A and B are shown apart, each in its own frame.
Chain A
Amino acid sequence: MIKLTYESRRQLGYRFMMAPALLLMAAFIVFPAFYAFSLSLTDVALLGFAAQESSFVGLRNFSRLFGDPLFWNSLKVTLIFVIGSAVIGQFVLGFLSALALQRPVRYKPIFNAIICLPNAVPEMVVGFLWISMFASGEYGTLNRFVAWFGVDPQQWLYTFPLLSIIIVNTWRGIAFAMILLTSGLAAIPKDIYEAARVDGATDTQVFWRITVPMMMPTIFLYMFISTVTTFAIFGLVYTLSRGGPANSTEILGIYIYNQSFTAFQLGYGAAVAVVSLVVSMILGIIYVKALKVEV
């Protein structure tokens, strides 16, 4: 019988506890990724003869993809959407909320609830809610509001499509940013602030020289998570705009869906998904490695 040391038993215990998570990841993330890659090398489709009998086409889907202006457009739109809503919108407003709620505020739980509520609403419901908000014609909520200032009814989702979806996603994601950044702020030892105050530091100096540097790991962790998750968003934008008008909000998720389930070209859709995964991984690696963040 093999005798295990205490350390080995402990390590084995850890591995045993991690096994279910690793199995699930293998089944639902790693295997589908490899399967998607294998599909991307075929002409498999959901309709037509290729649904019954697909054939190997090598890199033809990828060469078509790189020559497709709509793919490049969707990549551009996705990057703007990620930067606009996750990197700028959610982060800035989430950080401000976290800072504001660090101070003694009356009715703090109510403010917390107001900020957290959008995150509790399902993605599709948020989409429909904002459709009503942005609705064209005189009955749209936003149009009723601007009418008080004498502004004519607008077609918000047509006139400012990308900005509109950035605003909605920012609104929805502030809660997550705030919660994560609040935990980061709480981890900063209070005596550092007290020492700085004793040395005569101003609020601005405290913020830039203590809070921000001490928050860097949390900020980058947040950036990493929000960038990757925003990159994969689908339901919210699909409900709001379906990628229109004129592809102006066609993020990669919608492009993949349209190719796979509207044009029913599963092989081509898989090729786009593979490229999307690679872009996502590159962004992740940039955060994890180049910025030397421990995740």
Chain B
Amino acid sequence: MSWTTKSLVLLPLGAVLVVAVGWWWGESPSAQRQDLPTLVIAEHRTARIQVLQQLKPALEAELGVYLKIVEYPAPPQDYFTKLVTELRAGNAPDVFTIPRDLQMDDLAAAGYLANLTDAVEQWPGYQHLPELVKQLTRASFDEQVYVVPSIMAVEQLYYRHDLLTAAGISTAQPQSWQDLLSRSRQIKQQLGQYPLLIPAGLTWGMGSYTEGFRYLLASFSDYQLLNVDNQYVLAGEAVRASFGFYQTLVQQQLMPVKPLLNPEPWVIPKYEMFPKGQLLITTCGSWCKVFDWGPDSRNPIPNVDQAVQTWKFPSADGGEPFALASVVYSWGVNAKSRQQQLAQQLVLALGEVDVALVYAEKLGNVPARLDAAQHPGFAALGSRMEDHALLPQARALRTTVGSNAMMAAVAQASEAVLTGRSDAGQAQQQLIDYVTNVLGDQQVKPQLTVAALPKGGKQHD
């Protein structure tokens, strides 16, 4: 047999042998997991995985299980896509996190989430959740609980206090959109830098809604995204005015538009321009002073707690300025998990204050439970203790099934405003058309049509 023939036979055989040994090695049960039931947890982002690894021994000891942590892709959108496809295929992990509260309804309606209502209502931690959080953990279509909240993002406007003070520009809380816009114009005039960032556009994905458009909608004190029939209310003045606000920012060059059209649109404005002082105000959440600009982040701002401070989001209609709150990374149980009881015990354990404080400390954000304030470890949150205190008064916009389509539509319509292809009125029409096309007429409030409103977008002087 020639060497060529030998290698043709031996190489594949060798490869098969290596794969077989590797598989056997990887699958051989360790002493640790031999007698214990295994629960598989999906987690993503290095920092979150590190925290879970840290908590793992205590959770395993408490529940008598072996926890297998499976690493998923890092960007939330990619994580969510992989999770959804696995849930659909029936091979998803037992326990997983849901990045944003507004993704819960879609998952629950698809039948992917186990109903946790009984377990959560009997859980002592439930009574310590603010009303807003209790509401956000219930699906809008059946009022059942499908997730256990652990941490919350409190979202406001973050501004460079150090640079504004040095320039002699007021750092007082803006009371209205007009206040915010005139402050922005002053910043642009005096410092020659972009004053304000409100995320928008296709590549920011769901963040165009959650970190941008939602702030503007919530500025209308009587606006609700859903009506009593759980239909999306998209045809009113609040939606048009919100697109109009973007239009003003773009036309008056108060917002950096180019970076928002990049594949990773947050990188330049949030991680480069804001730390360098080339952008002075941005929407952000309680994670920002840790994850985005904290001392251990990749883009630290020196003395971040003093240098960067917060304003509540100003009202559009004379109401009080407000903070928004979102349930982030709540824990859900796979409806097809074979270990329902254990998985439910695990998510309740992950909802305890001790656990939430570790997550909050390492990743930013604040514990969802109000009794966290009495925990000895609470002080480690530093300035985020003030964010936690805002939870009972914070605002949120409840969504329903189809939020994913609604967010995709916001991303698309807001990009049209950014690029100048559409004015506010046209963007609103695009939003309505997209959501109606995808979800059907019955999920969009039919009454007021855009054509009935004045033409074009309202400009803010």
Contacts and interface: CB of A to CB of B under 8 A. Distances in A.
Nearest to A51: B110
A136 B256 CA distance: 15
Contact of A48 (B77, B81, B110, B272): B110
Contact of B272 (A52, A137, A240, A242): A137
Contact of B258 (A45, A49, A155, A247): A155
A245 B262 contact: yes
Contacts of B263: 157, 240-242, 244-245
A157 B201 CA distance: 16
Interface string A62-92: 0010000010000000000000000000000
Contacts of B401: 48-49
B288 interface: no
A219 B418 CA distance: 44
Interface of A, helix, strand, loop or mixed by DSSP: loop
B81 A70 contact: no
A262 B405 CA distance: 9
A158 B262 contact: yes
A29 interface: no
Given A158-B261, A261-B85, A47 B110 contact: yes
A246 B202 contact: yes
A263 interface: yes
A271 B22 CA distance: 41
A176 interface: no
A70 B438 CA distance: 15
B224 to A, nearest CB: 20
Size category, A interface: 20 to 34
Interface in B368-421: 401-402, 404-405, 408, 412, 415, 418-419
A279 B404 CA distance: 29
Interface in B52-106: 77, 81, 84-85, 88, 106
Nearest to B421: A246
A193 interface: no
Interface string A41-57: 00001111101100000
Contacts of A245: 203, 261-263
A196 B46 CA distance: 67
Contacts of A48: 106, 109-110, 401-402, 404
A51 B272 CA distance: 40
**Most A-side CB within 10 Å, residue of B85, B110, B205:** B110
Nearest to B107: A47
Contact of A47 (B106, B202, B258, B415): B106
Interface string A125-145: 000000000001100000000
Given A244-B202, A246-B415, A261-B81, A158 B258 contact: yes
A52 B401 CA distance: 13
B261 A263 contact: no
A240 B264 CA distance: 10
29 contacts: A46-B85, A46-B88, A47-B84, A47-B109, A47-B404, A48-B110, A48-B401, A48-B404, A49-B110, A51-B109, A51-B110, A51-B112, A52-B110, A136-B268, A155-B258, A155-B262, A240-B263, A241-B263, A243-B203, A244-B203, A246-B415, A247-B415, A261-B84, A262-B81, A262-B205, A263-B408, A264-B84, A264-B404, A265-B405
Given A48-B106, A52-B110, A264-B84, 18 more contacts: A46-B88, A47-B84, A48-B402, A52-B109, A52-B111, A64-B437, A155-B258, A155-B262, A158-B262, A243-B203, A244-B202, A244-B262, A246-B202, A246-B261, A246-B418, A247-B415, A261-B81, A264-B404
